[in-house]
Structure 1
């Protein structure tokens, strides 16, 4: 097509024409020549809009950064379908090295539009919406929904690549370029997810820490003996918060991501409870109170579905039990069950929390064999 002839024809009435669809081989020349007039949108219903444009406009109008609707499966599907249509044209109209290069460029545009411009942007929004590490109210973490949507979109891209694109580029230079770029984009998304998970867990654990901080030193050194039949009100609130967060995780995350997040959540919860135990000194009644709480946390640990977390809480329960063991029985108890495999330093660090540690000479009880 002669560009001079086309220029003369398009400018014949001095106003130019709106171009709705044009062969991409001359689109760049038309733009450079200033022959394409902007289309002024007068429709507000979006009924006649392309699905990608309509979804993009809705996302731009969404002001709530924590709204999971910002992630659009419809947009992902529409972009993928457009890419498939373009690929069909490429394989029909080009061949050989030219076809390989066109396929590469087309798929790179899909990665950029869906992976970078949509998914990465929305992950950033969701990441910013996660509350800080010491929330006063129980956090509702929407970021985990973003993980689910991200993984769904990545699976769509990966499936399309494996089934339709990879066979077309087999053995070509473009195949290596595409693999490298794809892994780079996916790696950037994974890095954002890891940052978000860490921030979310910090927030969730921070809220539990704020609850635990309501317990005072005097709570575990009551002046009179108490009848302890259940865990403390603080413990009940902690367990309720953990339950709520796990329910939300089950609703928004699945597969290996869920397993990994629950395991890390459980490990951090164990670390928090262990640190909490070390904040106090205990007489017998106080030790019984803490032991009741730890028993409840031990039951709660099963909900993390991690054998490691369950094992850690079982060991912690055995260690906290040392707070209430009769001094004469200490030497025998520390050689049994979970405690038998622990060093004496670890065992003594818990025994030292007893108010009778010095008066009852408990150090000698746990450092000598006879």
Structure 2
């Protein structure tokens, strides 16, 4: 940090999206170390070979893994927005993770191809494997922490949008003129943001990381929207509007391609149908395929949001 003139203070700085990672620098370092491993193999005596190869590895670890990759991940961690952001968060950590994983895989490939043959039959073999394992676990730990913070910031901003943009009157309209808009402005803003984040995750992450992050994000978004919808009371037109909103959330979540998350939003959509079903059919709908197995308190929690909950005497509908 002193070399680059960067001052890490209490305020969050994202450095304009700079990841501080370079594939060109990494390839250059790896080429130098590859040549060093070759010279080691040619010039060293058998007794000195493994020891010198390990020394080359230590130099490679120090300057490539610690001072380049790990350093960038640390900066990326500090640049992640807070879990309750006051403005739309710019999350560059997904890019940091994508690049860091790529560069670390290049390091591991050279470890396997150039180092292992030189130390295979010596006590240094297990020592080198231990060093690689520790480096991987250290990097994975920081990445896991960062991804968790990034997802928390996304969920926090969605909560902020819904809190600021959704009006109490959105779901208690006085005439059917609102039905032409299909979705409330708050929903449209959330869906646009979620779609952009999902696209970013697909662009920068790969393999298991994509599935894990989208599962975590999807379940958190479901909780945020679930809790949000329970703050309102719905008349018959409002119930149709919220069903349209949840259908739009469900449509955007389909792009995640995570069955568990999609199932959560399917059940939320089914719960919202309880707001519009005629009272005589409520008990039948509650025992239908989509809602079977849900706790009665969850079902009643939605039924209580109906404008006719008291007048239609729905308190005993599930008894």
Q: Same fold (TM over 0.5)?
A: yes
Query: Following the alignment from structure 1 to structure 2, what is the Cα–Cα distance between the partners of residues 289 and 296?
Result: 11
Which residue matches 2:246?
Answer: 294
Query: Following the alignment from structure 1 to structure 2, what is the Cα–Cα distance between the partners of residues 212 and 227?
Result: 19
Cα contact 1:132–1:203 (8 A) shared by 2: yes
1:115 matches 2:65: yes
Cα contact 1:282–1:355 (8 A) shared by 2: yes
Which residue matches 1:239?
Answer: 191
Identify if the C-alpha distance between structure 1 residues 69 and 311 changes in structure 2 by more than 3 Å, giving closer, same or farther. Answer: closer
Which residue matches 2:277?
Answer: 325
Identify if the C-alpha distance between structure 1 residues 170 and 298 changes in structure 2 by more than 3 Å, giving closer, same or farther. Answer: same
Shift of 1:248: 2.1
Is the partner of 1:340 in helix, strand or coil? coil
Deviations 1:120-161 (A, max 9, x none): 111111221222223333222111111111111111111112
Deviations 1:296-320 (A, max 9, x none): 1111110111111111100110011
Cα contact 2:250–2:262 (8 A) shared by 1: yes
Cα contact 2:271–2:302 (8 A) shared by 1: yes
Q: Which of these residues, 57, 60, 67, is aligned with residue 4 of structure 2?
A: 60
Shift of 1:263: 2.1
Higher RCO structure, 1 or 2 (CA under 8 Å, sep 6+): 2
Which residue matches 2:266?
Answer: 314
Question: Map of 1:159-170 to 2, 5 A cutoff?
Answer: 159-170=109-120
Question: Map of 1:111-150 to 2, 5 A cutoff?
Answer: 111-150=61-100
Cα contact 2:235–2:307 (8 A) shared by 1: yes
Query: Following the alignment from structure 1 to structure 2, what is the Cα–Cα distance between the partners of residues 353 and 330?
Result: 13
Query: Following the alignment from structure 1 to structure 2, what is the Cα–Cα distance between the partners of residues 132 and 66?
Result: 17
Identify if the C-alpha distance between structure 1 residues 62 and 145 changes in structure 2 by more than 3 Å, giving closer, same or farther. Answer: farther
Identify if the C-alpha distance between structure 1 residues 140 and 227 changes in structure 2 by more than 3 Å, giving closer, same or farther. Answer: closer
Q: Which is further off, 84-93 or 131-140?
A: 131-140
Which residue matches 2:46?
Answer: 96
1:280 matches 2:232: yes
Query: Following the alignment from structure 1 to structure 2, what is the Cα–Cα distance between the partners of residues 100 and 363?
Result: 77
Which residue matches 2:309?
Answer: 357
Cα contact 1:148–1:252 (8 A) shared by 2: yes
1:262 matches 2:206: no
Query: Following the alignment from structure 1 to structure 2, what is the Cα–Cα distance between the partners of residues 169 and 273?
Result: 55
Shift of 1:260: 2.1
Which residue matches 1:215?
Answer: 166
Deviations 1:309-352 (A, max 9, x none): 11110011001110111111101111212112323232122212
Cα contact 2:19–2:76 (8 A) shared by 1: no
Which residue matches 1:347?
Answer: 299
Aligned residue-pair number: 311
Shift of 1:69: 5.3
Query: Following the alignment from structure 1 to structure 2, what is the Cα–Cα distance between the partners of residues 201 and 69?
Result: 18
What are the ranges of 5 or more consecutive residues in structure 2 without an aligned counterpart? 8-13
Cα contact 1:134–1:203 (8 A) shared by 2: yes
- RMSD over aligned Cα atoms: 2.3
Which residue matches 1:337?
Answer: 289
Structure 1 stretches of 4+ moved >6 Å: 61-64
Shift of 1:194: 1.1
Deviations 1:186-231 (A, max 9, x none): 1111111111111111222222111101213343334556652411
Query: Following the alignment from structure 1 to structure 2, what is the Cα–Cα distance between the partners of residues 346 and 245?
Result: 30
Which residue matches 1:83?
Answer: 33
Query: Following the alignment from structure 1 to structure 2, what is the Cα–Cα distance between the partners of residues 60 and 80?
Result: 23
Shift of 1:285: 2.5
